[in-house]
Amino acid sequence: MIGGVGSGILFEAPLIAVQSQVEQQNVASATATLSFIRNMALAISTIVGGTIFQNSMTSRGSFLRAAGLPQELLNQLDGESALANVMLPSTLSNPAWALAAKQAFAYAMRNMWITYTVFAFLSLVVSLFIDAAHLGTEHTETVTGLKNQKDRIGTESS
């Protein structure tokens, strides 16, 4: 829900802001550029988060070993395999093992959230340096597509 609300809030407002600050003939290019940047940022963010999660789970290996987890479970909760086994703690019959695995996942998630919170804070600080831009009240109509072609054909035949 948090991701959906955050994504929803940040989807339309930047698009309107970008489109309002470019000339009419550049709206399509500006929209495509914004979409490209948004997709690249999403991909990089996913990679960074996954790497932090994997490294955090790997660093918790000694903690899990000390809790008595067998080597097979340690391999499943190791960095590269950890994301594929997030439901594993709920299937463990030993409560101490389940608690240790849940604590390891909580530690890894905590590190991801700290990183994303730092990125959000830095973004907020950077946003303070953006100049204010106001939407204009003038409207320039640009004729495009078939309507433009139809009008051109009508004026050429006259």
Phi, psi dihedrals of residue 111, rounded to the nearest 5°: -65, -40
- Looking at residue 112, its pLDDT comes to 96
Token digits of residue 45 = 């963010």
Give the domain ranges of the chain.
2-135
Task: Map residue 25 onto helix, strand or coil.
Answer: helix
pLDDT band of 150, cuts 50, 70, 90 = low
| Mean pLDDT of all residues in 35-52 | 94
- Looking at residue 131, its pLDDT comes to 86
- Looking at residue 99, its pLDDT comes to 95
Alpha-carbon gap, residue 111 to 106, rounded angstroms? 9
Mean pLDDT across the chain: 87
pLDDT band of 25, cuts 50, 70, 90 = confident
List all residues 6 or more positions away from 125 whose beta carbon is below 8 Å from its beta carbon: none
Question: Above 90 in pLDDT, residue 124?
Answer: yes
